[in-house]
A and B are shown apart, each in its own frame.
Chain A
């Protein structure tokens, strides 16, 4: 998680977006210190509902940059991701996936992580970039917690993207029963040895299986009108002068930075 936050901070700095205009609705609680460090507004929402909460934030004030962090592997609230992508709602969804940790064959498993599946897991994981892309998300990427610079670049790009973006991050999920050495020696080493960067790879080919190396990279970067743009176009064409365009976005202040949250 620390490396993701580092990459997020770098990404915000690089993007030029003012941190105080960034809102992070998340179904995973951040440490308050992290939020202080980033200078963003943080909302710890109900489980799986970070995307619709973020949709409300964005439509309540379209000038905000909304970055939902989700950790449920598209189980709780997966439907919100599907429909957020379909609408092309202007969100950057950060999907933190610690699933690989226990899924990939042959890797040591933390003592208590598979508490719900004591005999190991057997069902197929989601190919999240493919899901996002096929539902209409504009920008899809996947990185691991090791690829800090690449991840920061992706975040910076996606923050300035007008439309739904998603970045899947493979990161170990430490819990009360694992120690940090265990994570460093096993998981990060595993990411190092088993990931391969393939930018522009067709998202259909990036599923995570025990047989193949994990494909990371920026997969897609498309353009189409956002929800608010299509809303304003459609209602403007039907209602003419009577329509009050929704959500005029004032120009972004580019002078932000890590401590720009004044």
Chain B
């Protein structure tokens, strides 16, 4: 299905990632954003709010982030594509309703422009420390999709993709961007409307008295109905049967939650997008996402100049995690180097999937800035030298950390 031409601002722009995401949402067919301003995500909502009224869409500033996410889930059930936009503290407030959205199999998109945490942290500076929260933040078992764009152009493109994935798999989709990408100004090309493919909602079209709102199709995903169409919906965050009616017994509970996670897990191959370069004959592979993948490129270039065989594996989709891919690569290489702006989140996933077959080196960063490419280069050189498997994740001391905490590298080189 092609998108609505009124919502596409075709042209070549020089804009930041936030604005690109706002325009991407419109182009994806988003008709409603309920949001609450928070640095550094505000520009995305502003961009949407500026263009929405002439594209048949609406932005409403809700009273808080809990109200924002509750309103977009409501709007989705009223039949429109919806999104909310936030950062750290607002993201924490939204957690309960993310699980609610997953439970109701509500397709919505949440743009999180990560900032340095914890708590209020540094509102205007970058961080990548919400990655585990995006996966596990709400209580209970559920699966969702998270994408980490690394440029303003990708903020536009992957916002559209996020909406398409949400509709396809009927689940919340997180765009886990960060302040650097959000506030990075680059060239963004917005194509013509007829070049933008969007996934329509899969509405049920049969008879109302035969409709079971949670009866899955063969691909484990049920068809949706919208409020006001006479389907007499009963939709609840309680564990429910195919009719949507609450049930308590363990068979139903197991069957329902199993399907909720399986509809993502069994479709992983279709969902996951990774970008790799030089991984086939590499001895060290840098695994990165978001802004860290931009910084990593320079470190990788320098290492290649030195003759080290370095591969670059960029996680565009962070959740679900590409277990099989990492597992397969671990057997062929010496080490993974994982630069991320936190003290270890995705690196533990890499370690889990490498099953002790390869060393895993974390290049940490406390936030408020990005890595120095020299640190990534040094970590690659270090990782390439290691022959013996060192148990657990190795934390590489960056120049910044050495400067702050004194002492040498705790690792024996």
Contact = CB atoms under 8 A, between A and B. Distances in A.
Contacts of A52: 34, 62-63, 66-68, 70-71, 74
Interface stretch (A29-37, A180-188, A189-197): A29-37
Interface of B: 6, 31-32, 34, 53-56, 58, 60, 62-64, 66-68, 70-80, 82, 96-97, 100, 208, 226-238, 243-246
16 contacts: A23-B227, A23-B228, A32-B243, A43-B77, A43-B227, A46-B70, A52-B67, A52-B70, A55-B34, A57-B78, A59-B78, A60-B74, A60-B77, A231-B58, A244-B56, A261-B230
Most buried by A among B54, B72, B78, B208: B78
Interface residues of A, number: 44
A61 B63 contact: no
B60 A59 contact: yes
B108 to A, nearest CB: 10
B223 to A, nearest CB: 16
Contacts of B77: 43, 56-57, 60
B78 to A, nearest CB: 3
B381 to A, nearest CB: 50
A246 B74 contact: no
A115 interface: no
A230 interface: no
A132 interface: no
Interface stretch (A6-14, A146-154, A235-243): A235-243
Most buried by A among B63, B64, B79, B226: B63
B110 to A, nearest CB: 14
Nearest to B78: A60
A5 interface: no
A218 interface: no
Given A52-B34, A52-B62, A262-B208, A59 B75 contact: yes
Closest 10 pairs (CB-CB, A-B)? A56-B74, A60-B78, A60-B75, A56-B71, A44-B236, A52-B67, A56-B75, A52-B70, A83-B63, A61-B78
Contacts of B74: 25, 43, 52-58, 60
B233 A53 contact: no
Given A49-B97, A54-B74, A55-B34, 11 more contacts: A42-B235, A43-B236, A46-B237, A55-B62, A55-B71, A56-B75, A57-B74, A57-B75, A60-B76, A60-B78, A80-B67
B228 A79 contact: no
A21 B228 contact: yes
Contact of B238 (A29, A39, A64, A242): A29
Contacts of A35: 232, 234
Contacts of A60: 31-32, 74-80, 82, 227
A41 interface: yes
B252 to A, nearest CB: 14
A160 interface: no
